[in-house]
Amino acid sequence: MPIVATNTLILFTGTFLTPTVSIADHLPPIGNKNGYGFGVRQEVGSAAPRGAASSATESAVYIPTEVTSTATCQPGVLWAAIRICRPNRPLDAKAGRSPAEVALSEWRRLPIPEPEVRTAPPRGSSGLVGLPHWFWVANWRPLSERAQAGGAWVEITARPQSLTVDPGGGQQSVRCPGAGTAYDASRPAASQRTDCSYTFSRSSLHQGDNAYRVRVTVTWGGTWVGSGGAGGVLPPLSRSTSFPVRVAEAQGLYR
């Protein structure tokens, strides 16, 4: 007879005895709240299907119900030598998750911070057409978090990888390979360099509120290690922030 069992321990004890009651055992099996299926079956001593003998089993081996700290085992339906054991407590949905599943689940909930963007000229001051407008992120640092679900544990590490500046107004975005370089107002401008800036080609005079709506996005990558020596790479995440930047024509400042 086919047996399908899920999260259930089936123990075979003693000698199989052939019952005098026939069984109607059709597939697929019927599952129940305890997580196992045992086919469509005829109980011992109940009415047999058409064409089968109607007398009950007289020589079945009696195996009493056994209760332990983790499971309860009962005799089988037709053969008492088969015991079906089920857990005493509901199954933890997280207990069966692999480390990779736990890592991906925690990665999606990781509190990636909003980028703290600094600019030169400083926010609130107008930039100039034709001169580089610097951008950098002050909170560019890795994050780590450890999580456990059931018997699986993982440690996730997230690292900022790239910075993208969308200057607004339909202008093309700029992708920077790192956090950018902080501008030092105490040093001569000619002695400083950055790999993350944007040079506006026209003023923001005709934009809403006379300012470009700049959007800065930081893309994060992640890796994880976990129980059993498991590990891997996680899909990228991103966080963004936006703010107004006013840009003036140079000649307009000196009228």
Whether residue 74 is found in the same domain as residue 150? no
Asked if the bond preceding 160 is cis, omega within 30° of 0, the reply is no
Whether residue 108 is found in the same domain as residue 217? yes
Is 0.75 topped by the overall pTM? Answer: no
pLDDT at 98: 85
Task: Give the pair of three-digit tokens for residue 15.
Answer: 């000698």
Could you tell me the residue range of the domain that residue 41 belongs to? 1-91
Question: Nearest CA to 158 among 141, 175, 177, 136?
Answer: 141
Whether residue 225 is found in the same domain as residue 123? yes
pLDDT (tens digit per residue) in 134-184: 999 999 999 999 998 888 899 999 999 999 999 999 999 999 999 999 999
Whether residue 198 is found in the same domain as residue 115? yes
- Band of the pLDDT at 220, cuts 50, 70, 90? very high
Three-class DSSP category at 32: coil
Residue 56 has pLDDT above 70, yes or no: no
What's the structural domain count of the chain? Answer: 2
Whether residue 74 is found in the same domain as residue 179? no
Whether residue 119 is found in the same domain as residue 235? yes
Whether residue 199 is found in the same domain as residue 178? yes
- Region of poorest pLDDT, from 81-90, 102-111, 220-229: 81-90
Mean predicted lDDT score pLDDT of the chain: 74
Secondary structure of 33-53 in HEC code, one letter for each residue: CCCCECCCCCCCCCCCCCCCC
In this prediction, residues 107-130 reach a mean pLDDT of 92
- Region of poorest pLDDT, from 33-37, 95-99, 109-113, 227-231: 33-37
Whether residue 112 is found in the same domain as residue 67? no
Whether residue 86 is found in the same domain as residue 105? no
Which of 46, 65, 91 delimits the end of a domain?
91
Whether residue 104 is found in the same domain as residue 121? yes
